Structure 1
Amino acid sequence: MASRATADLFPERNPNPANQTLEEDLGMGQLYDWSWSETLIQSQESLLLILSTFWCILLARVVTQKLRLHGSPSLCFAVEFGLVILPCILLVTVAVDYSNYIGLVMFVMTLWFLRKSRVLERARTRSQFDLGGQRPMAFSVLRALTHLITAVCILAIDFGSFYRPYRKSRQFGAKLMDTGIGLFVFTMAMVSRRTRHLSDLRRSVVFSALPLILLGLARTVAILTLGYGQDSHEYGQHLNAFFTLGFTKFLGALVGILARKDLHLLPLGFGLLVIHQFGLSILGISDYVMNEDLERSNLFNANREGLVSLPGFVALYLLSIYVNGWMVSSTLLTYSELVTKLKRLFYAVLILWSLFVISAYGIGISRVTCNLGYVIWMLAIGCTTLWASFGAIDFVINSVMPWEQSSSGEQEKGLLTGDSVPKERSKPIFPFTINQALNQNGLTFFLLANVLTGGVNIFLKPEDRSNLESVIILLVYMFLATKLAHELLKRGIRLA
């Protein structure tokens, strides 16, 4: 196995054809088979892992507040690490066979908590629900969730204990690691706004898109210089996820100018998605991208996966911005207004999952081309998590266990909403410590995770490690990465 000091966002270092649902001899113009029932099972497994980790974050909030640990940031971090990071590592490795049972236990405990706390009675007595302004806690939870699961998987995949069905699909599929790039685009849109003027476009390019593109270029140069291998079936021979995110941000901001208001993002996004799917299915572009016999003789052929998928990711980005705008259009709500918003979001979730089933049967789910089915899947997962987060945090937990800010309330508000925090603050007191740390320095956390992943591959030979050794190494790796972000948060330092 080729080791790399700089890993991709969602690398596939050990392709295993035995796990792929491909035909043996692929050719141009040939239709590809996929098992829609297997796709549904893969999606169910992926969603279960995501929601299980999300549930652990909620549990950490309840436990740390019950024990009043927020006056001690280090102790709070330790408890959250044990309640969130450890279960996530176990559920992608040695405890994966118990995922369904663990999910059932979580469901039963949730019902017990709802019944015991009499949440409906308490929620009705609240005068208003403050969702947190333009950066609700639900958004930051989804961003942190994406960072945590991806960081765990990019190293765990190198160990024999990793659950192989979670690996990326080579062409069609809905596996856990297929969610990585899509959820990163979804969460990137959560902190973005529709481009209204050319000044907004310049700001998006300079401060958001350009740094990502430069990181992608640096990674490509490093790989070519050091001679590390890269699976060209992910984004192409030279492109990588950083390029995809950067170009998606740039093109999304450019196309967004065409929308006169947020509502116009819906037809704009879906129109682009339909055109993209037409090219993939009718014009044979999907066959072109997935033809393994086609030589990478020029720059476009060499990077066809990353280039062809861009329209799909731009469509996902535009539609996600609309979801974001709709959710924060009004953040001070009465009880009835919040219930109405949650109902409408739930109906949207049902529609998206219905469309996902239809797409899985009719056109398949392909991350490689970011087809219509994949975009629908990402929207379904994203909206499901947002619905669960707004319901669990803003409606349930904040009604049963309202957060009482200390005298440094303005500083805490900055942490909760993702805004900058004063550097002179000492001993911060706030919920979701790891969650806020990753939101404040997510890119720093992820770059460190990539460097540590390369170091483990070079010096520790993960393919030779036992199950116990793999879990220990993953725990140390995640501790180092999250602890750095936590220390930066304690000191009010925002790097990237």
Structure 2
Amino acid sequence: MSHKERKTQFVSDLVGGTTLDIYRVTSISAISYLVWCVLKKKTALFESNKQKGSALSVIIDFLLNWNNLLLSTTIYANNIPLLVVLNILPLIPIVLFSSPTTKKEGKKVVKKTRKAIVNLNTLTVKQFLPFKTFITVYRAQMMVITCVCIMAVDFQIFPRRFGKVETWGTSLMDLGVGSFVFSMGLISERSFLRQLFESKYSYPRTVSRSIKNSLPIFALGLVRLVSVKSVDYHEHVTEYGQHWNFFFTLACLPILNAVLSPVIIKLSPFVTSIIISIIYEYCLVGHGLLGYIIANPRTTLFSANREGILSLFGYFPIFLNGLALGSSILPVVSIPNSVFNVGISRESLVKAYTKGKGKAGISPLKAMFILSVVFQLAYYIIDTCYIYSVSRRMANLLYVIWVSAYNCSFLFIYGVIEKLVWGVVDVEIVAEASEDGIELETDVSDIVCDEHVPVSLTAINTNSLVLFLASNLLTGLINLTFNTIDAGIIESMGVLLAYELTLSAFSLVLYNMGIVLR
């Protein structure tokens, strides 16, 4: 075989691994954040989240939040417990013999209590949707492991069970693309919450804005298509088709969301997701769509790209599940019936809390826990009883449930770590207007703690899409200039380390220069 054929074969006909194995490998991301939080709280190593950090703090940040994920998916893939021990062991003396960095008054150590005052009558949109630490960490860590995998998959050192499966099965990279979509839906919920809070929802504006915002992503898809075809780069056709790629999928989802927004607002994202998933699954199993995707010849433009086009009916429900969770965890205060409510106006929110109904809203942690349990149980039951397994290729019902279960679960884990290390914010909610006309000002500064996030992850989150594009271009360049599949362990780790160092430095340079390209 030619070198191109060998590379194509190297990533073809893979069958994946177990979901438990995937959870075990990716748990290192949560361990890394926990270690960083303890170091931040117990030592003076990370004095600031800006560019004032010492060289040592930057190196440790990189080792924890970049290199740990490279190690877990390569040389430690079969020995995750050892990697966990190597991360946790150095913390023992720090926890036992170090005291928190707190302010001192005389001989007393005064621990600052995190408080927030939310006056629903003076609450601004920015205050209504504050920065949430655990969401930033979750999204950035997901981007890191995505960037690592798209390069590492071309090396022998990357276990084949982590590569995208041919048709049936679960793998780390199959989970990665779905998680990317779930995260996109989660953040897209901000637009609904913002518009409905201000009672400024407009269908034409929503559609036009989504099309405008999707054009750059669509352009990236075209750039990738042209570059891949022009250099005769190896392709796995059954992944998305002959011309389709993941950028096109990402560009289409916000547009679908905007076009169907009246239905989504009326039924809720969660219900809409269930309806679309069931209809699509019925078409796959009961009307021959499954056979069409797997075996039909590629004679037309549609049939040539059928995996990418038809899988939109699976990726969109994942997007909607992210949207549904966003309404529960993004706002500063719980909104009534949040899982089934895409947003609420200020007037309705004030009325709900005045009548006491707002207190019935569930907290972000509780919402993540409930949805995690629901999705995990649904996945276990259907996977046990159903005739077909997970298929990322067609994004079937089990794939939708699996991706949603994983993301809700890991968001919950990040939320628990934040709560355990940094404590709970005491939120005082004021709903009734002041009789003397002098309203209490909203203060959510203690919630917006960007210093609780590693600077490397903040930098990634600031320009995540650009970093994703850079990782794709760098992956292509390395594959064209280096024989990845015949590289030994030392060569492979050297190239991969240089690759992640380049991406990390690139994101930090953009961040320190104040450049935001998204």
> What range is the shorter-chain TM-score in?
0.7 to 0.9
1:356 to 367, 379, 389: 379
1:232 has 2:232 as partner: no
Q: Check whether the contact 2:182–2:407 (CA below 8 A) recurs between aligned residues.
A: yes
Q: Check whether the contact 1:128–1:332 (CA below 8 A) recurs between aligned residues.
A: no
| 1:84, distance to aligned residue in structure 2 (A) | 2.4
Q: Check whether the contact 1:60–1:80 (CA below 8 A) recurs between aligned residues.
A: yes
Q: Check whether the contact 1:70–1:431 (CA below 8 A) recurs between aligned residues.
A: no
Residues 400 and 12 (structure 1 numbering): CA distance in 2 closer, same or farther, change over 3 Å? farther
1:47 has 2:43 as partner: no
Q: What is the distance in 2 between the residues matched to 1:174 and 1:431?
A: 31
| 1:101, distance to aligned residue in structure 2 (A) | 4.4
Q: What is the distance in 2 between the residues matched to 1:493 and 1:223?
A: 28
**Partner residue in 2 for 1:8:** none
- Give 5+ residue unaligned stretches, structure 2: 101-109, 119-126, 193-200, 336-358, 427-442
Q: What is the distance in 2 between the residues matched to 1:308 and 1:42?
A: 26
Residues 112 and 68 (structure 1 numbering): CA distance in 2 closer, same or farther, change over 3 Å? closer
**Partner residue in 2 for 1:370:** 395
**Partner residue in 2 for 1:139:** 135
- Write the letter of the residue equivalent to 2:179: L
Q: What is the distance in 1 between the residues matched to 2:396 and 2:380?
A: 14
| 1:44, distance to aligned residue in structure 2 (A) | 1.1
1:67 to 26, 37, 44: 44
Q: Which moved more, 1:146-155 or 1:57-66?
A: 57-66
Q: Check whether the contact 1:3–1:458 (CA below 8 A) recurs between aligned residues.
A: no
Q: Check whether the contact 2:325–2:367 (CA below 8 A) recurs between aligned residues.
A: no
Q: Check whether the contact 2:25–2:77 (CA below 8 A) recurs between aligned residues.
A: no
Q: Check whether the contact 1:129–1:332 (CA below 8 A) recurs between aligned residues.
A: no
| 1:250, distance to aligned residue in structure 2 (A) | 1.2
Residues 52 and 358 (structure 1 numbering): CA distance in 2 closer, same or farther, change over 3 Å? same
Q: What is the distance in 2 between the residues matched to 1:341 and 1:185?
A: 20
Mapping 1:157-172, distance limit 5 Å: 157-172=153-168
1:78 has 2:78 as partner: no
Q: Check whether the contact 1:64–1:79 (CA below 8 A) recurs between aligned residues.
A: no
Map Cα deviations across residues 324-358 of structure 1 (whole Å, 9 max, x no partner). Answer: 0111244489xx99995423432321221111122
Q: What is the distance in 2 between the residues matched to 1:486 and 1:298?
A: 44
Mapping 1:393-404, distance limit 5 Å: 393=418, 395-399=419-423
Q: Which moved more, 1:274-283 or 1:64-73?
A: 64-73
| 1:242, distance to aligned residue in structure 2 (A) | 0.3
| 1:132, distance to aligned residue in structure 2 (A) | 9.1
**Partner residue in 2 for 1:458:** 480
Mapping 1:27-426, distance limit 5 Å: 42-65=18-41, 66-71=43-48, 72-73=52-53, 75=55, 76-103=57-84, 127=115, 133-193=129-189, 196-197=201-202, 198-207=204-213, 209-260=214-265, 264-291=268-295, 294-331=296-333, 341-361=364-384, 362=386, 363-393=388-418, 395-399=419-423, 416=450
Q: What is the distance in 1 between the residues matched to 2:466 and 2:230?
A: 23
Residues 340 and 180 (structure 1 numbering): CA distance in 2 closer, same or farther, change over 3 Å? closer
Residues 299 and 227 (structure 1 numbering): CA distance in 2 closer, same or farther, change over 3 Å? same
| 1:60, distance to aligned residue in structure 2 (A) | 2.1
Map Cα deviations across residues 51-78 of structure 1 (whole Å, 9 max, x no partner). Answer: 2122212312332452333343352322
Number of positions where the alignment pairs a residue of Structure 1 with one of Structure 2? 443
Q: Check whether the contact 1:359–1:372 (CA below 8 A) recurs between aligned residues.
A: no
Residues 332 and 149 (structure 1 numbering): CA distance in 2 closer, same or farther, change over 3 Å? same
Residues 106 and 343 (structure 1 numbering): CA distance in 2 closer, same or farther, change over 3 Å? farther
| 1:238, distance to aligned residue in structure 2 (A) | 0.5
Q: Check whether the contact 2:114–2:425 (CA below 8 A) recurs between aligned residues.
A: no
Q: What is the distance in 1 between the residues matched to 2:89 and 2:208?
A: 50
Q: Check whether the contact 2:116–2:446 (CA below 8 A) recurs between aligned residues.
A: no
| 1:185, distance to aligned residue in structure 2 (A) | 0.6
| 1:112, distance to aligned residue in structure 2 (A) | 11
Q: Check whether the contact 1:151–1:446 (CA below 8 A) recurs between aligned residues.
A: yes
Q: What is the distance in 2 between the residues matched to 1:102 and 1:69?
A: 23
**Partner residue in 1 for 2:469:** 447
Q: Check whether the contact 2:77–2:159 (CA below 8 A) recurs between aligned residues.
A: yes
The CA RMSD measured in Å over matched residues stands at 3.8
Map Cα deviations across residues 21-56 of structure 1 (whole Å, 9 max, x no partner). Answer: xxxxxxxxxxxxxxxxxx8x6211112222212221
Residues 200 and 287 (structure 1 numbering): CA distance in 2 closer, same or farther, change over 3 Å? same
Q: Check whether the contact 1:235–1:368 (CA below 8 A) recurs between aligned residues.
A: yes
Q: Check whether the contact 1:172–1:367 (CA below 8 A) recurs between aligned residues.
A: yes
Q: What is the distance in 2 between the residues matched to 1:93 and 1:367?
A: 23
1:468 has 2:496 as partner: no
- Write the letter of the residue equivalent to 2:370: Y
TM-score by length of 2: 0.76
Residues 104 and 355 (structure 1 numbering): CA distance in 2 closer, same or farther, change over 3 Å? farther
Q: What is the distance in 2 between the residues matched to 1:457 and 1:178?
A: 21
- Give 5+ residue unaligned stretches, structure 1: 5-10, 21-38, 403-408, 417-428
Q: What is the distance in 2 between the residues matched to 1:400 and 1:200?
A: 35
Q: Check whether the contact 2:33–2:65 (CA below 8 A) recurs between aligned residues.
A: yes
Q: Percent identity?
A: 25
Q: What is the distance in 2 between the residues matched to 1:118 and 1:377?
A: 41
Q: What is the distance in 2 between the residues matched to 1:125 and 1:339?
A: 23
